[in-house]
């Protein structure tokens, strides 16, 4: 059985980044949003460049 990748909405990604900007640690945000901590590193540049839909 194969697992499919979860598709995250733009609103979800923005909410995670806003939490980071308010001072939460990467680990806290990752646990709260149930995402890999490395995801936060890739979200910011993608949102800033407009690559995220």
| Residue 51 pLDDT greater than 60, yes or no | no
> What pLDDT, on the 0 to 100 scale, is given for residue 32?
94
Residue 4 lies in a domain: no
Contact 14, 47 (CB under 8 A): yes
In the block, tokens 């733009």 appear at 10
Confidence (pLDDT) at 33: 92
Torsion angle (degrees, nearest 10) of CA 41, 10, 47, 26: -20
Give the number of C-alpha atoms closer than 13 A to the C-alpha of residue 17, restricted to the C-beta side: 17
Pairwise CA distance, residues 5 & 47, whole Å: 19
Q: Which helix (H) or strand (E) holds 12?
A: helix 10-21
Has residue 28 been placed in a domain? yes
Containing domain of residue 38, as a range? 10-49
Question: Total structural domains in the chain?
Answer: 1
Domain membership flag for residue 3 = no
Residue 53: pLDDT band by 50, 70, 90 thresholds? low
pLDDT digits (tens, 9 = 90+) for 13-46: 889 888 888 888 888 988 999 988 887 667 766 6
pLDDT for 40 equals 66
- pTM exceeds 0.75: no
């Amino acid at each position: 059985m194969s697992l499919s990748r979860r598709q995250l909405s733009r609103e979800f990604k923005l909410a995670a980044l806003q939490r980071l900007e308010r001072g939460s640690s990467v680990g806290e945000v990752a646990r709260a949003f149930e995402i890999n901590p490395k995801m936060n590193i890739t979200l910011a540049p993608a949102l800033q460049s407009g690559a995220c839909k």
